[in-house]
Amino acid sequence: MGDRWKVTVDPRVCVRTGLCAASAPTEFKLDEQGQGRATSETLPASEEVLEVAESCPIEAISIVDADTEEVVFPPE
């Protein structure tokens, strides 16, 4: 697995709890409508980012390895 991940918050699924930004403010932020977003196109692969994705109550966050395009989360 690579050291960078593409992290996406699906705006059609996100219910704007703000949990992602509260849990990892360096990696996630909320836009003007309260929609969660990754702070960068790619993020360093980390347990913290994975835990945030796993804790999203709606599973709106997906993670893909930036180098291999392998799905990291959610499990297939």
Q: How far is CA 50 from the centre of its chain?
A: 8
Nearest Cα neighbor of 17 from 50, 66, 56, 74 is 56
pLDDT tens digit string along 18-67? 999 999 999 999 999 999 999 999 999 999 999 999 999 999 999 999 99
CATH topology of domain 4-69: Alpha-Beta Plaits (3.30.70)
74 token code pair: 């959610």
Would you list the domain boundaries of the chain?
Answer: 4-69
pLDDT reported for residue 36: 97
Global confidence as pTM: 0.92
